[in-house]
Chains A and B, each alone.
Chain A
């Protein structure tokens, strides 16, 4: 029974030390999310913090109780366990408490989800994206201000972006290897894939959406900061998945206009 005490002590000690380290590093944000850069991301982070507090309390409480029980009820010579089979009021209270916490989280979560998934505001600036193994291409309207129609079916050596040859708006469209957007407006993104699944991930904006061949998927967000951000691909798309890196620059409208005017419309060459 000596051994029992030793095991109980170390077990309880380990649980407490682990809980302390876990709680400290999380509360201290030692390793944390990348700097935040969007309105929606801020709301997600808030919900994250609420969830973190609720689950954190449960995490710490369960581990402390577990450690206490392990130590307090360690087997002793001549010791005897109590005969307790169940306790219905306790079960009901516990279940109800959990349910209430979950209702709060689901309420917050679904409200936010609905907001994020609702159509983008009318003044949103739209960029279309082609994903393919292993790069991103960004599609902007040309001087006519209208985005031309694209489809995989139209893709050929002369028409690498699949512009619709019959669409007059497609004649002056711009394709760029980097994404630039003007600061101050919500940004809407329309995603298409030429080949396999990809996922358009913006860690700083807390945004992600899969890119699915045969489908158009969408996302929108409102940047709160100008700057240069990265776009890692977040859905396994083949051997080059880990190098499928895009760059998003959020800049003032003037800088953006400068940039876009330096791009050569593809449609013109046709």
Chain B
């Protein structure tokens, strides 16, 4: 213990010495986790905005085919010369939208943004374990964003083989317009992104496991930290598969190898390759792809748990089970990837096995849902904007999780695969849920990040428009899926099996999407205005227990002034019987306020107020 104190004191001194002074080292090539977090967050939000604008354009095409948007001539000179979206442009927009949203918005903001900001502050560290690597991580991410954005402007157009980039479409320039330089840049951007994500993830996991302050045992970490580091581990062990795939695909594209390409005839011309298998790419892609969807949901689950507990003024229900199910979901997520390939031509017996693993993963997911409901039960709920989002998360996660039960059962997946039902499923469960986690998280931690409060009133307007509008978009899509409407269609005019009411649904969806889009403008204004002009935030505006709220606002370089805080309890001591307030921060010693960390009921707590846990430290 002695050594700990010395180390802390020394670290404090060191921090003092190392505080960056120049503008460049402070705000640009910063190694401070909080600055890097903001860099990640803002870059990701900008990318997300681009992705959203893309969706408006193709949604307008689907609702009002060939509608003319004169101003688009300037934004997309190659594929909207006349202001009307052309087919290649449609496929490029859809591909870029998916890629940007999954990787460059959601993955980046959840791990790079929230992971960077929260982990050191919530475990009581002065910074990340490897600050230099952390800085590199951001700049690689930035570079990958630049590459993917530049790819929109190359003469043959951006990649257009879907965010899954299945070869041969993505392997041969002749197969589709976007399969030229655009596809190369897509692969390069993804590879750079993987490097960035790996460097970040190494940091998040190491910091959380090895740099916790005194008293911060693993079972006292907030669920946000658990969610993010488990997601980081998934990233570390899943992304390399896509990296390998990207390397092989680049070789197939340029060196004439046949990893994914068999002999084929494209537009009357023989492409002589030898026995490659397009399914190999699908395996490599989904070996990442499925864990990837959990990389997006686990941190959002953590954030939601944190906000729910705070907003309900109650401990999170079943903390240990929550941690256990996070880990179980993560583990299982490595062995379910084949559920994306039930009708791909893969051996049906493999499909059989994947059905079983896929439906097993639904059990821990269901348990988490029950625990969130359990957290609200008998609570004293405060309807702050973060809380509205957290409650919305429960709804969207359940809705989307239940549609997963259909898709995970291979026989039912046969008619539903590659229809709008799948699009609805993953947008609700992954898109909406993690976006709700993100918005909840931004409203919740904005005061700590910037030192200012966001407007609650406009936050609520933003929430309601987003919540109602998103269900308008994505719930409605399920019906299109029932009808058998295939996804990735530029238009549906020529099909008779789709009833005319399909058009009504398309219009409802597009109008809802535009409403949601407008709501995001409110968010942007609220975010920027509050940052510049918002009222000053107190240190602990939500009366929360976890460690970051004990740091000054905004936290200085090194996070804590003087010694690192010492932790005495778990982060969910809300409404502890016998305590003088309804929240007891983790830093409050057990002699001062009681804790219920290890006890189910309030009754048991009273007998044990005297430092029963961590006795060896006393």
- Contact present for A207 and B415 (CB under 8 Å): yes
Report the Cα distance A223→B41, complex, angstroms: 54
Cβ contacts under 8 Å, A18 to chain B: 395, 471, 475
Residue in A31, A62, A76 whose CB lies within 8 Å of B482: A31
A239: interface (CB < 8 Å): yes
Which residues from chain B contact A33 at a C-beta distance below 8 Å? 415, 482-484
CA of A22 to CA of B477, assembled, Å: 12
* Given A106-B356, A113-B410, CB of A152 within 8 Å of CB of B263: yes
A213 interfacial contact with B, CB 8 Å: yes
Tell me whether A114 is interfacial, beta carbon within 8 Å.
yes
Cβ-based interface call for B593 (8 A): no
- Say whether B561 faces chain A, with CB atoms less than 8 Å apart: no
| Contact pick for B345, options A74, A210, A243, CB 8 Å | A210
Asked if B18 CB lies within 8 Å of chain A CBs, one says no
Find residues 26-75 in chain B having any chain A CB closer than 8 Å to their own CB: none
> How many cross-chain pairs have Cβ atoms below 8 Å apart between A and B?
337
Q: Are A234 and B486 in contact (CB under 8 A)?
A: yes
Report if B317 contacts A (CB, 8 A).
yes
Do residues B596 and A83 form an inter-chain contact, with CB atoms below 8 A? yes
Which of B91, B351, B370 is A239 in contact with, Cβ under 8 Å?
Answer: B91
B145 to chain A, nearest CB (A): 25
Residue from the list B265, B374, B419, B494 in contact with A245, Cβ < 8 A: B494
Across the interface, which residues of A come within 8 angstroms of B267, CB to CB? 133, 195
Q: Which residue of B lies closest to A30 (CB)?
A: B479
Q: Is the CB of B479 within 8 A of A203?
A: no
A81 to B370, CA, bound (A): 18
Contacts of A155 in B (CB 8 A): 265, 270
Confirm or deny: B580 has a beta carbon within 8 angstroms of a beta carbon on chain A.
Answer: no
**A133 contacts which chain B residues (CB < 8 A)?**
175, 266-267
In the complex, are the beta carbons of B382 and A81 less than 8 A apart?
no
* Given A69-B373, A214-B264, A3 contacting B356 (CB threshold 8 A): no
Asked if A58 is at the interface of the complex by the 8 Å CB criterion, the answer is yes
Binary flags per residue of B454-495, CB closer than 8 Å to A gives 1, else 0: 000000100010011001000100011011101011111011
Other-chain residue from A59, A162, A212, A238 in contact with B399 (beta carbon distance below 8 A): A59
B contact residues around A204 at 8 Å (CB) = 497
Q: Does B592 contact A (CB under 8 A)?
A: no
> Is B161 a contact partner of A74 (Cβ separation < 8 A)?
no
Nearest-CB residue, chain B, relative to A215:
B345
Complex CA gap A243/B318 in Å reads 52
B545, chain A: closest CB distance, angstroms: 13
Closest approach, in angstroms, between the C-beta of A223 and any C-beta of chain B? 15
As a 0/1 sequence over residues 217 to 249 of chain A, the CB contacts with chain B under 8 angstroms (1 = contact) are 100000000000110111111111111010000
Across the interface, do A73 and B379 meet the contact criterion of CB distance under 8 Å?
yes
Residues of B312-336 whose CB lies within 8 A of A = 312-315, 317-321
> Which chain B residue lies CB-closest to A7?
B383
Closest Cβ neighbor of A193 among chain B residues = B264
**Smallest CB separation, B36 vs chain A (Å):** 35
Are A73 and B406 CB-contacts (below 8 A) given A91-B321, A239-B176?
Answer: no
Interface centre among A74, A217, A236, A239 (most CB of B within 10 A): A236
Which candidate, A8-16, A176-184, A253-261, is the interface stretch facing chain B? A8-16
B278 lies within 8 A of A109 (CB)? no
Supposing A4-B383, A69-B377, A242-B489 touch, asked if A105 and B343 sit within 8 A by C-beta, the answer is: no
Which residue of B is nearest A31, CB measured?
Answer: B479
Tell me if B14 is interfacial: C-beta within 8 Å of chain A: no
Name the interface residues of B361-408: CB closer than 8 Å to any CB of A: 362-363, 366-367, 369-371, 373-374, 376-383, 388, 391, 394-395, 398-399, 402-403, 405-406
* A69 and chain B: residue at smallest CB distance: B376
Beta-carbon contact of A75 and B383 below 8 Å: yes
Within 8 A of B (CB), among A73-106: 73-76, 79-87, 90-91, 94-95, 98-99, 102, 105-106
Task: Looking at the assembled complex, report how far the CB atom of B584 sits from the nearest CB atom of chain A, in whole angstroms.
Answer: 11
Q: How far is the CB of B577 from chain A (nearest CB, A)?
A: 5
Selected from B315, B374, B403, B582, the residue in CB contact (under 8 A) with A80 is B582
**Do A201 and B486 form a contact, CB below 8 Å, given A51-B409, A74-B383, A84-B378?**
yes
- Give Cα A83–Cα B471 distance, bound, in whole angstroms: 34
Across the interface, which residues of A come within 8 angstroms of B501, CB to CB? Answer: 31
Q: Are A209 and B264 in contact (CB under 8 A)?
A: no
Cα A70 to Cα B499 with chains together (Å): 39
When distances are taken between beta carbons in the complex, the residues of chain B under 8 Å from A243 are: 494
Nearest B residue to A209, CB-CB: B343
In the bound complex, CA of A132 to CA of B263 (Å): 14
| B265 close to A233 (CB less than 8 A) | no
Determine the distance from Cα of A65 to Cα of B394 in the docked complex, in whole angstroms: 11
User: B262 near A213 (CB under 8 angstroms)?
Assistant: yes
Q: Is B602 an interface residue (CB 8 A)?
A: yes
Q: Is B601 part of the binding interface, using a Cβ–Cβ cutoff of 8 Å?
A: yes
B616 at interface by CB-CB < 8 Å: no
* Contact of A34 with B484 in the complex, beta carbons under 8 Å: yes
Could you tell me if B381 and A74 are in contact, using CB atoms closer than 8 angstroms? yes
Cα A32 to Cα B345 in complex, Å, equals: 27
Q: How far, in whole Å, are A87 and B371 apart by their CA atoms in the complex?
A: 10
Instruction: Encode B587-605 as 1/0 by CB contact (under 8 A) with A.
Output: 0000000001001111001
- Asked whether, in the complex, the Cβ of B373 is within 8 Å of the Cβ of A65, the reply is yes
List 18 additional A-B contacts (Cβ < 8 Å) besides A98-B367, A212-B344. Answer: A41-B415, A59-B402, A75-B381, A82-B575, A84-B315, A86-B320, A86-B321, A86-B600, A91-B367, A116-B411, A152-B262, A196-B168, A209-B345, A213-B261, A213-B264, A235-B418, A242-B87, A242-B492
9 A-B pairs in the complex with CB atoms less than 8 angstroms apart: A11-B391, A85-B315, A95-B363, A105-B359, A162-B265, A197-B166, A214-B275, A232-B486, A242-B492
Interface residues of A (CB under 8 A from B): 3-4, 7-8, 10-11, 14-15, 18, 22, 25, 30-34, 41, 43-44, 47-48, 51, 54-55, 58-59, 62-63, 65-66, 69-70, 73-76, 79-87, 90-91, 94-95, 98-99, 102, 105-106, 108-110, 112-114, 116-117, 132-133, 152-153, 155, 157, 162, 193-197, 199, 201, 203-204, 206-210, 212-215, 217, 229-230, 232-243, 245
